[in-house]
Each structure stands twice: as structure tokens, then as C-alpha cells.
């Protein structure tokens, strides 16, 4: 076994690999950019080497710098993690040429399966079903449009050189095709250095199921069952589980055989994943093979009892796999929720900033894979994944119940996260029934579900404690600072990075009964105060006790075994400018910090409502800035390549007709 391994990655996966190396007695070397000088993966490693500036192309994708760091520190092997250089054949070759062991498949297999068009043809030639599509050489937009018309809409456009949702678009209509292809090609070029695309007929209402495979240099191949990754947003996985609730033993065997057929055909070695679409009739189709460890490998570890990173290192060291197919047993059920620094209430825009509070839940059946800590800085340079929460149970029901409780206990403050989304989807009846498909978030999930009942109830508790005198502060409004125009009382606070409002009036003739609006929903509530900030709330046919504490920065609400830290809402200047700009409709500001990758209009040009004016890139994804109404472009304040900060003015518009 190796004595020292360099981990060519960052974030939670670098911490995860370091943890297994430590358990095996292997010393670790971290690499870091200037922006990651205080990152958790740097603190967890035995030694760390700087490799360049913050932009990923100048640091974590800098092959010469990483190889030199490995040689300088005496590392014998390089573990690439996932993403970044993990599926880069040139990196695997550079390691081999430098005398370093690449903990992954050979470069030939990476190159073969990294070409998604070639991978499709390989799978089909070995009897594995594929989705009808186009993977030819002609890449002209009009030629691709002709192929899309042949297949029939909706179609899926994918990057031919890589996966992970980059360069992927679902296109429903002919008229949207050319613009979507242009955007997908740009994203693919930036992510993989290759803008080639392929087309597939979209399989509507399908599940995304993948099979974990392992292979060694002694000719041994085995699979570890499947994972269900159907809950996705913009083709990025959000929740995974193992095993899939849609797969029985017979289908599991067929999927495993197909996955191993692809792995053998590719001459694969080490850990990899073969992905399939599973339709409503139980037929499956090959999607791609990921030649690396997956983000969601943890759920497989929980149901098999195996450490996949340890097995990767063992295989890379030339040892045979220590188990056979008949030794693989699936025990219980596991879920994983990906926690992203993004705001589900603002179109999932990435969120950057300082993590003020970071308190993952603890308890039986709970696992935390984290890449941050309280005081850490989340930047716009990298992927927004900050942590993964995993739960295991003896069956699916127990694992799901543990996940729901764990999500309720998770506290992250200082940045916006998708925790409200995760809580809502894990409580959804479709998730309960195990019937999630890849289009769930787009077709069967409503944004209103994000305002979960526990948050509404915490807002009512805070409001009730204040207006009923339970806080014992004399006139509570002197401390709370809400506004009361015309007898209306309102409390505006922040929770998990976004403002929340509860407002209303006391009903005439009553001291405890209020008519309220909570985030746009009309409710009636009765508040009964108690000592030490305690209040009993009755609303919607339910009653619950809560304890509310007044803090310098807000309110702390304890109820139903969960704490809610509600901060005073103080709009930033950029927020005020953005609101004013939106209200007047003539000043558009950056919704997030990022890089301008495209300006689609010129000064003096007439534009229509919802027309894309420019495109920003942040955290590896594109975000369009659209015209709010018909207008004329008066002034552009940015050019392609400019780095802009959140709230910065980008475009000034003149409403149509204003010049008349």
C-alpha cells in the first residue's frame, strides 16, 4: 500500500479521501488555490501545497502544478476525487509519465468513455440498449436541428466530452433549439475544453438509475447494486438513494450484467459508474459511464458496508479485489441529500459569503460528508456543493424518517442554501411513495411547498411571543423594530438567507386573537403568553408550545425539538438598488457575482420582454439576465470577460414609448 497520496481536489471529497487515507495509515497532501488557503481540506491534510490563483483553470485544473506538487512532496499516488481532473485522460497520462500512480482507470478507458458518442456506440455493440439519438461528427447548428426534428421533440442536448449536467439542455420546442445549443456548447467548452454535442430523444417520466462497478488488474469485475438518482434540478442530482425503490432482484441482475458488459468492453479498472434511464415499463437504456468515484458513492457504502475509497486505493496498488460478486449483500436503505450554497427562493442563484454557523446533525444512522466549517468562506469560483447529509435505516421508511429529522436539525447561517428545498421534497408524498422521476421538480413540485409548515409555525411563534408580551421586554416593539402603519403590525426577519414576513391586526374586541398574513397566506392565530419567553400558539386547527429568546441579532425559537434562528432583516445597499431597479424596470443589476460570458445586445437596440440581454457564469453554471419588459438598451455597463459583483449595474433600459 502507498505511504503518501496527493489528493488533487477540494471540498468535501478531498476531506472524504483524507479520512480513509488516515484510517489506512497513509499520509496525505492537499493542494489549494489562493481562495482556499483556509479551506477545510487544507486543514485536514498532513501537508498542503499552493498551486495557483483562485480561478479553477489556473489552479485545480493546472496539471503541471499538481504533478510537480506530488513529486516535490514525495507522494506515490494521486487521488483525483470527482469533478475537476478526475475524468481527464491527459492528467492520468501525466501522472503515469511522472511515475505516479493515478487512483482511477487507465487513460485509455477515460478517453474512450469520456467521449459520450463513442461510449454509446460501444454499449450498443455489446448488446446494451441505448436511447435513440445522434452522435455523429456533423456539429453545425442547422445539422443538429435537422437531427432533432428527425428524432422529434422533446430532445436532450448533451456535451459529448463530459457529464455532470454541464452542457446539457432539455429542449421542448423547435424555436428554442438554436439558442439552447449555443448555450450548451459554451458551457461544454468551458467545462471540458470540447464543445461537441450529441442528441438523445428525451425519455419523459423516466428514472435515473446507476450501477456501481469495481474492477481490478487481475481480471475481476463486480457490481455493488444500483442507486436511484432521479431527483434532479437542471440535470444536477439533488437526492440519491440505494437501493432504488423501482428495482427488484430480477431487474437488479439485468442492470448489473449490462453495467459489467460495458466495463469489460472498455477495459475498465478501479471504481466506476454506469448510468441508465429506466422508463415506466421497466426498460432501461445506457446513458454514460462515469470513470471516477461518484458524489453519491456514500449511499452504496452504507448499504454494502464497504469503503469505496479504500477499495480504489487497494486496486491502484495492484492488489486483487478482496470480494466476489456472491459476497455482495445489500443491507437496509440509505439516502443522501446534497447541500448546495444556492437560493431556492431566487431561482437557485449561487450564494457566496462567510459561513457564520455550521452545525450538521448528529445521531444514529446519520453520516456527514462536509467541506466547510463556521468561519469558512464560500466563493463563486467553485461548485456550490458544501456538504452531503446521509442517513441509513433498516428499511426505506426508517432511512427517510431519519433524513427528515436530520434536515430539521441542520443549521447553516451566513450563506443561502437549498435546505428548505430538501426539507420540502423529503416530506413530499411522491418521495414517501418512492415514485420520484427526473421531471419531478419541474412538473410535480410547487415553489409554495418550500415554505414548509415548521418555518411558518416558527414565524407565528416569534410574532406571538412579541405581541403577547411573552418576551418580558416592556413594549417589545422598541426592541424588535417592526413597523405598524394604520394598526398593522409586521415582523420581518431572515432565516436561512432570505427574508420572511408575518403581518396582521388584532381582531376587534380580543386581546389574543389575530388575523395574519404569513408569506402571503391568510391565517388566524391565538397567542397565550407564558413565563420566560414561552408562548402557546393556536392556528389552523393545531396548537403548539414554543419558547422564544430575544438575542442581539434576532430571535431564537425553540419548538418541536428544533431551533430557528431568526435574524433581523437589514437590506444591503445592493439589495435596495436591485429592488429599485426591478421596480422601475430600467436598471438591471447582477443577481449574483460571476463572469460575463456573453452580451447579446447592443446600445440602442430594441428588446422584447423576457429576451436574454446577457449571460453570467458562476459556480460552473450559466445564468441569463433578461429584459423585464419591452424596452430600448440605453447603456451597457459590462463586456464579455468582465467579473461583476452581486448588485453591480449591468444594463440601463429605456421603457418602450418613453422617448415619444
185-190 long-range contacts, CB within 8 A, separation 24+: 186/597, 186/598, 186/615, 186/622, 187/159, 187/621, 187/622, 188/159, 188/160, 188/161, 188/162, 190/597, 190/617, 190/620
Would residue 319 show up in a list of annotated catalytic residues for this protein?
no
Q: What count of other Cβ atoms lies within 10 Å of the Cβ of residue 443?
A: 10
Roughly what angle, to the nearest 10 degrees, separates helices 396-409 and 419-426? 150
Alpha-carbon distances, residue 121 vs 113, 146, 232, 279, 326 (angstroms): 10, 21, 26, 21, 30
The closest alpha carbon to 28, from 38, 39, 40, 41, belongs to: 41
365's grid cell = 444512522
* Rounded Cα gap, residues 556 and 570, in angstroms: 17
Please, where are the H alpha helices in 317-415? 396-409
Q: How far apart are CA 131 and CA 119, in angstroms?
A: 12
**Active-site residue among 44, 240, 241, 288?**
288
Report the SS3 class of residue 185. helix
Q: Which of 155, 158, 203, 200 is nearest to 177 (CA)?
A: 155
Residues forming beta bridges with residue 49, ordered by sequence position? 31
CA angle 243, 248, 250 (to 5 degrees): 125
Note the helical H segments in 77-170.
Answer: 89-97, 107-114, 116-125, 141-151
Contact between 307 and 383 under an 8 Å Cβ cutoff? The reply is: no
How far is residue 475's CA from residue 508's CA, in Å, rounded to a whole number?
20
Distance of CA 95 to the CA centre of its chain: 30
Distances 651 to 145, 585, 593, 628, 647 between C-alpha atoms, Å: 32, 11, 15, 12, 12
Length of the chain, in residues? 660
Give the three-class secondary structure for 308: helix
Give the contacts of 434 (CB within 8 A, at least 6 positions apart). 245, 246, 396
- Catalytic amino acids? 288
Amino acid at each position: 500500500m502507498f505511504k503518501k497520496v496527493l489528493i488533487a481536489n477540494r471540498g468535501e471529497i478531498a476531506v472524504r479521501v483524507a479520512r480513509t487515507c488516515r484510517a489506512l495509515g497513509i499520509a496525505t497532501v492537499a493542494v489549494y488555490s489562493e481562495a482556499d488557503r483556509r479551506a477545510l481540506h487544507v486543514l485536514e491534510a498532513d501537508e498542503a501545497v499552493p498551486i495557483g490563483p483562485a480561478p479553477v483553470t489556473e489552479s485545480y485544473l493546472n496539471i503541471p502544478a499538481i504533478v510537480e506538487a506530488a513529486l516535490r512532496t514525495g507522494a506515490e499516488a494521486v487521488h483525483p476525487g470527482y469533478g475537476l481532473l478526475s475524468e481527464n485522460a491527459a492528467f492520468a497520462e501525466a501522472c503515469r509519465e511522472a511515475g505516479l500512480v493515478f487512483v482511477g482507470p487507465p487513460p485509455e478507458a477515460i478517453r474512450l468513455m469520456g467521449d459520450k458518442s463513442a461510449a454509446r456506440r460501444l454499449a450498443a455493440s455489446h448488446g446494451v440498449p441505448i436511447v435513440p439519438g445522434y452522435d455523429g461528427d456533423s456539429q453545425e447548428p442547422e445539422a443538429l436541428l435537422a437531427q432533432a426534428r428527425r428524432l422529434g421533440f422533446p430532445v436532450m442536448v448533451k456535451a459529448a466530452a463530459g457529464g455532470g449536467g454541464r452542457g446539457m439542455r432539455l429542449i421542448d420546442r423547435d424555436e428554442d433549439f438554436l439558442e439552447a445549443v449555443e448555450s450548451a456548447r459554451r458551457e461544454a467548452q468551458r467545462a471540458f475544453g470540447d464543445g461537441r454535442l450529441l442528441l438523445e430523444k428525451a425519455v419523459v417520466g423516466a428514472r435515473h438509475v446507476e450501477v456501481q462497478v469495481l474492477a481490478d488488474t487481475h481480471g475481476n469485475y463486480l457490481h455493488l447494486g444500483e442507486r436511484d438518482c432521479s431527483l434532479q434540478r437542471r440535470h444536477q442530482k439533488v437526492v440519491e438513494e440505494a437501493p432504488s425503490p423501482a428495482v427488484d432482484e430480477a431487474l437488479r441482475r439485468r442492470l448489473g450484467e449490462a453495467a459489467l458488459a460495458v466495463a469489460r468492453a472498455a477495459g475498465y479498472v478501479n471504481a466506476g459508474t454506469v448510468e441508465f434511464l429506466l422508463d415506466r415499463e421497466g426498460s432501461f437504456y445506457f446513458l454514460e459511464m462515469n470513470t471516477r468515484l461518484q458524489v453519491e458513492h456514500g449511499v452504496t457504502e452504507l448499504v454494502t458496508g464497504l469503503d469505496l475509497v479504500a477499495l480504489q486505493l487497494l486496486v491502484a496498488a495492484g492488489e486483487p479485489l478482496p470480494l466476489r460478486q456472491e459476497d455482495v449483500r445489500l443491507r437496509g436503505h440509505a439516502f443522501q441529500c446534497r447541500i448546495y450554497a444556492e437560493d431556492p427562493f431566487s431561482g437557485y442563484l449561487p450564494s457566496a459569503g462567510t459561513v457564520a454557523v455550521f452545525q450538521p446533525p448528529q445521531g444514529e444512522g446519520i453520516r456527514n460528508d462536509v467541506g466547510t466549517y463556521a468561519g469558512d468562506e464560500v466563493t463563486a469560483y467553485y461548485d456550490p456543493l458544501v456538504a452531503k447529509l446521509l442517513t441509513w435505516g433498516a428499511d426505506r421508511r426508517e432511512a427517510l424518517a431519519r433524513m427528515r429529522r436530520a434536515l430539521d436539525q441542520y443549521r447553516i447561517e451566513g450563506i443561502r442554501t437549498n435546505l428548505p428545498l430538501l426539507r420540502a421534497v423529503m416530506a413530499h408524498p411522491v418521495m414517501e411513495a418512492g415514485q420520484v422521476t427526473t421531471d419531478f421538480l419541474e412538473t410535480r413540485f410547487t415553489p409554495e411547498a418550500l415554505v414548509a409548515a415548521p418555518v411558518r409555525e416558527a414565524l407565528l411563534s416569534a410574532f406571538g411571543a412579541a405581541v403577547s408580551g411573552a418576551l418580558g421586554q416592556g413594549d417589545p416593539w422598541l426592541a424588535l423594530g417592526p413597523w405598524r402603519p394604520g394598526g398593522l403590525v409586521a415582523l420581518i426577519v431572515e432565516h436561512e438567507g432570505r427574508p420572511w414576513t408575518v403581518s396582521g391586526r388584532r381582531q376587534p374586541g380580543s386581546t389574543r386573537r389575530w388575523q395574519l398574513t404569513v408569506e402571503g397566506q391568510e391565517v388566524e392565530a391565538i397567542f397565550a403568553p407564558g413565563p420566560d419567553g414561552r408562548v402557546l400558539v393556536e392556528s389552523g386547527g393545531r396548537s403548539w408550545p414554543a419558547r422564544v429568546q430575544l438575542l442581539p441579532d434576532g430571535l431564537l425559537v425553540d419548538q418541536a425539538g428544533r431551533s430557528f434562528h431568526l435574524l433581523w432583516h437589514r437590506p444591503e445597499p445592493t439589495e435596495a438598488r436591485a429592488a429599485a431597479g426591478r421596480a422601475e424596470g430600467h436598471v438591471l443589476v447582477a443577481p449574483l457575482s460571476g463572469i460575463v460570458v456573453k452580451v447579446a445586445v447592443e446600445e440602442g437596440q430594441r428588446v422584447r420582454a423576457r429576451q436574454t440581454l446577457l449571460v453570467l457564469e458562476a459556480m460552473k453554471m450559466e445564468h441569463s439576465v433578461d429584459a423585464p419588459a419591452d424596452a430600448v438598451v440605453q447603456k451597457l455597463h459590462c463586456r464579455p470577460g468582465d467579473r461583476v459583483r452581486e448588485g453591480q449595474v449591468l444594463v440601463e433600459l429605456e421603457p418602450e414609448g418613453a422617448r415619444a
